C-alpha cells in the first residue's frame, strides 16, 4: 500500500518545482518529486547538467542572433525615417511610404532606399 510523506515547500520552491515538472513533461507534481527523490543514477544527473548547459548555450546564441537582427532593423528604420523627413513634397513622401510598405526584408528596404549602398554591401559580403 502506498504511503504518503508530508513535505512542505514555500511558494517560491513550489513554483520552481511546478515549472521543472512541466518542463520534464510530468502532469502531477507528486510524481515528479517522487521520481527526482528516488533517482539514484548520478551519471544521469551529470548528463542532465550537460544537456542544460548545451540548451543554455543554444538559447544564448539565438538571443545574440535576435539582438543582431533587431539592431539591423533599427538601423534600416532610422535610415527610412531620415529619408522620409528629407522628402520635401507630400507626393514623394507618400510614394516612398507606399514603396516601403510593400517590401518584406531588410535587404529589400535598403535596396529601395539606398540602392548603391545595398549593392556595395552585397558585393562586400560576398552574396550574389
Each residue of 66-118: pLDDT tens digit?
888 887 777 777 777 776 667 567 777 677 667 766 666 666 776 776 677 66
Instruction: Report the alpha-carbon distance of residue 34 to residue 55 in Å, rounded.
Output: 25
Asked if pLDDT for residue 42 goes beyond 60, the answer is no
Instruction: Report the alpha-carbon distance of residue 26 to residue 73 in Å, rounded.
Output: 40
Instruction: Report the alpha-carbon distance of residue 94 to residue 74 in Å, rounded.
Output: 21
pLDDT attached to residue 63: 92
Each residue of 11-30: pLDDT tens digit?
999 998 898 888 888 899 98
Residue scoring higher pLDDT (61 or 128):
61
Nearest to 44 by CA among 68, 24, 64, 22: 24
Residue percentage of the chain with pLDDT more than 90: 10
Amino acid at each position: 500500500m502506498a504511503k504518503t510523506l508530508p513535505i512542505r515547500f514555500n511558494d517560491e520552491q513550489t513554483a520552481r518545482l511546478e515549472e521543472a515538472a512541466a518542463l520534464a513533461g510530468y502532469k502531477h507534481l507528486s510524481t515528479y518529486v517522487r521520481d527526482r527523490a528516488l533517482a539514484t543514477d548520478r551519471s544521469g544527473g551529470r548528463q542532465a547538467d550537460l544537456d542544460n548547459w548545451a540548451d543554455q548555450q543554444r538559447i544564448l546564441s539565438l538571443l545574440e542572433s535576435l539582438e543582431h537582427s533587431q539592431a539591423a532593423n533599427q538601423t534600416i528604420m532610422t535610415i527610412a525615417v531620415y529619408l522620409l523627413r528629407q522628402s520635401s513634397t507630400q507626393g514623394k513622401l507618400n510614394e516612398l511610404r507606399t514603396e516601403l510598405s510593400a517590401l518584406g526584408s531588410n535587404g529589400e528596404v535598403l535596396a529601395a532606399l539606398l540602392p548603391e549602398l545595398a549593392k556595395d554591401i552585397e558585393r562586400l559580403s560576398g552574396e550574389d
